[in-house]
Amino acid sequence: MTEPAPPDALIRFENLKKSFGPKRIYDGLNLSVQKGETLTVIGGSGTGKSVLLKCLIGLLSPDRGKVWFEGQDLAAFTDAQFQPVRKKVAMVFQGAALFDSLTVGENIAYPLYEHFPEMPVDELREKVAQKLALVNLPGIEAMRPSDLSGGMRKRVGLARAIAVDPEVILWDEPTTGLDPISTRIIDELILSMKRTLGCTSVVVTHDMESAFAVSDRIAMLANKRIVQVGTVDEMRQSKLPDVRAFFDARAGATRRA
C-alpha cells in the first residue's frame, strides 16, 4: 500500500527495505509524519518499531528506500552529517539510561555541553532548571539517578532528551514498566510537548490506552509494512484483520491485568 506523500510532511519513510541477515524487517514501508502531529506506531513485538526510530537518528540505516526529514534524505547520511539532525530530533530511549555517576543536573546538561560547548554556565543552568520544571521535577538538580523512582528516572531522561529544544521527539515505549500514575504523567507530557513547544512526536507503544490518549494518528506496522494509518477513531473502527487482532489481543491483556 503506497501512501501519497503530503507535501508538508516533516518526516517521510519511502519504500523502506531492511533486513538483518536473512531476516527481513521492512519490505516497502511507507509512512509520513506531519509537522506538529503526534503519530503513534503500534505493532507486535519484533516488527521493527524501534528500528524505524533508529533510522531517524542514524543509529541504523535502511538497505533501500528513503528517510526524508525536512527535505533531506537521511538514509545515506554519514555520522558527521547526522550531527545537526540530532539537535533537532531527540530520542527518549526505552531504558532511559542516565549516567549514575553524574547528578540529575549534570545528566540534563550533558547534551547541551555536547551540542553547544560555547553556552555560558548561567544559561546552561537556566535551561536545566526549565526542563526539570517541564517534567514536573523542579529543583532536583543535585540528586543522583540512583535516588529516583523508575517514573522519575524516565522523566529525567525526557528532560535530558528535550534539553536542546528538539523539534521532533521520538518516544520508544515511554510508559513500559511504569505504574498507572507515572504512565498518565508521561501521557500528559507527550501532550504538553505538543501544546507548549509545538513538538512533533513519534511514539512507539503497546499501551493502547496511552496511544488513544496522546495520538493524532496511529500507524499499524505488520507484515513488514505500515498496513493502516488513521485517526484514533478510524483505527478503533478498522476492519483490517491485522489491526482488529492487535486491538483485541490488547483489550484482552488489559482486562486480565
Ligand X SMILES: Nc1ncnc2c1ncn2[C@@H]1O[C@H](COP(=O)(O)OP(=O)(O)O)[C@@H](O)[C@H]1O
Q: Which stretch binds ligand X (CB under 6 A): 40-48, 155-163, 179-187, 225-233?
A: 40-48
Among the candidate windows 48-56, 98-106, 179-187, 223-231, which touches Mg ion by CB under 5 A?
48-56
For residue 50, state whether it binds Mg ion (rule: CB under 5 A). Answer: yes
Considering only residues 11, 16, 25, 134, which one is a binding residue for ligand X as defined by CB under 6 A? 25
Enumerate residues 117-156 that contact ligand X by CB under 6 A.
none
**Partner interacting with residue 65 (select from Mg ion, ligand X, none; CB below 5-8 Å by kind):** none
Q: Please check whether residue 235 is in contact with residue 218, taking contact to mean a CB–CB distance below 8 angstroms.
A: yes
Give me the sign of the Cα torsion angle 238, 242, 247, 248: positive
Measure CA of the first residue to CA of the last residue in the chain; give whole Å. 35
Is 62 near ligand X (CB under 6 A)?
no
**According to CB under 6 A, which one of 12, 49, 194, 224 is a site residue for ligand X?**
49
Alpha carbon 116 to chain centroid, angstroms: 23
Residue 230: strand pairing partners: 218
46 binds, among ligand X, Mg ion, none (CB under 5 to 8 A by kind): ligand X
Q: Which among 48-56, 77-85, 159-167, 231-239 is the span making contact with ligand X, rule CB under 6 A?
A: 48-56
* 205 belongs to the binding site for Mg ion (CB under 5 A): no
Residue 175 touches ligand X, criterion: CB under 6 A: no
Per partner kind, with CB cut-offs from 5 to 8 A, the member of ligand X, Mg ion, none near residue 12 is: none
Contact with ligand X (CB under 6 A) among 5, 6, 24, 46: 46
